[in-house]
């Protein structure tokens, strides 16, 4: 079954979702954990619309270097546009499994919401380790979709929708396995943090409100879900919002590690 495709439409949608206060707060937590320093060389694997690249560029300043790498041309176009005024940023086309950089190029690397889409995690983390200098930092953040709390009236239909949604990536439950993968790839895990996204009300400019539409589009026609089923699921959530009975949360899990 095809995963989520990062085409032009998806790239623009992700750009909007990742500008919501929920995801801005997530990036602030990531930036605080990585604590990028002036003059550092940093890589963002799967840099998407480029918000994190832009913030990293501001942290390292013009004496540093930031590379954002992504296989998606529409994502790279958004990232290049966002960072055009920072010439120490480079937006590169490439894949986490074959990083186009020499060994020991970077002081630090980040990859948020990316490895969950990559089938071969040991190979991807071996590449990450290779391009970091010894003592360099890696920060990896992914979602466990078992952590979602989302109240609905029709729980059976909701479970079918979420099961179909898990097909949008290769690893819907990667975080528990990340520390072991990092250790085997030559890292020492130094910090483990939870990054919750919490929407206690249904408001338009939130992660969950926008993700309802992403999920609805993706799951229609999968696992026997008809357009009517999916419309019903969407209406279920909307009516809970109107009745002041809405609650959504999902957890990202973040690991900071040092290259041995
Ligand atoms: C959910 S977005 C996250 C974007 C960005 N890291 C962020 O947090 O804002 C996932 C990104 O991973 C990229 N991606 C998917 N497979 C990849 C791979 N094999 N190597 C590198 N990036 C990949 C996609 O193109 C997309 O831009």
pLDDT tens-digit profile of 125-171? 999 999 999 999 999 999 999 999 999 999 999 999 999 999 999 99
Residues in contact with ligand 1 by the CB-under-6-Å rule are 6, 14, 18, 45-48, 51-52, 70-72, 75, 95-96, 112-114, 117-118
pLDDT of residue 1: 58
Output the pLDDT for position 3.
85
Cα(96) to centroid of ligand 1, in Å?
9
Residue nearest to atom 10 of ligand 1 (CA): 114
Instruction: Compute the distance from residue 153 Cα to the ligand 1 centre, in Å.
Output: 33
Mean pLDDT within 175-196: 98
Closest protein CA for atom 22 of ligand 1:
46
- The string of pLDDT tens digits covering residues 61-109 is 999 999 999 999 999 999 999 999 999 999 999 999 999 999 999 999 9
- Dist CA 152 CA 171 (whole Å): 25
The best mutation among 11, 30, 46 to test binding of ligand 1, ranked by most ligand atoms within 8 Å of the C-beta, falls on: 46
pTM: 0.97
Q: What is the pLDDT of residues 13-37, one digit of tens each?
A: 999 999 999 999 999 999 999 999 9
């Amino acid at each position: 079954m095809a995963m989520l495709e990062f085409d032009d439409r998806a790239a623009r949608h992700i750009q909007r979702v990742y500008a919501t206060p929920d995801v801005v707060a997530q990036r602030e937590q990531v930036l605080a954990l990585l604590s990028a320093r002036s003059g550092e060389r940093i890589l963002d694997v799967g840099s998407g619309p480029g918000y994190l690249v832009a913030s990293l560029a501001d942290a390292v300043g013009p004496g540093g270097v930031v590379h954002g790498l992504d296989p998606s041309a529409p994502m790279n176009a958004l990232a290049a546009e966002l960072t055009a005024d920072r010439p120490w940023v480079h937006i590169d086309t490439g894949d986490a499994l074959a990083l186009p950089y020499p060994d020991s190029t970077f002081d630090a690397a980040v990859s948020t919401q990316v490895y969950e889409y990559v089938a071969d995690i040991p190979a991807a983390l071996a590449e990450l380790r290779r391009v970091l200098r010894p003592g360099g930092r890696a920060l990896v953040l992914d979602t466990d979709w078992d952590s979602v709390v989302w109240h609905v009236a029709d729980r059976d239909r909701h479970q079918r929708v979420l099961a179909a949604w898990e097909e949008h990536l290769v690893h819907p439950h990667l975080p528990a396995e990340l520390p072991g993968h990092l250790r085997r790839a030559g890292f020492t895990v130094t910090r483990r943090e939870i990054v919750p996204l919490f929407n206690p009300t249904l408001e338009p400019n939130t992660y969950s409100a926008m993700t309802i539409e992403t999920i609805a589009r993706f799951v229609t026609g999968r696992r026997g879900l008809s357009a009517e089923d999916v419309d019903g699921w969407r209406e279920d959530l909307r009516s809970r919002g109107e009745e002041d009975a809405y609650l959504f949360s999902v957890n990202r899990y973040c690991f900071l590690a040092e290259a041995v």
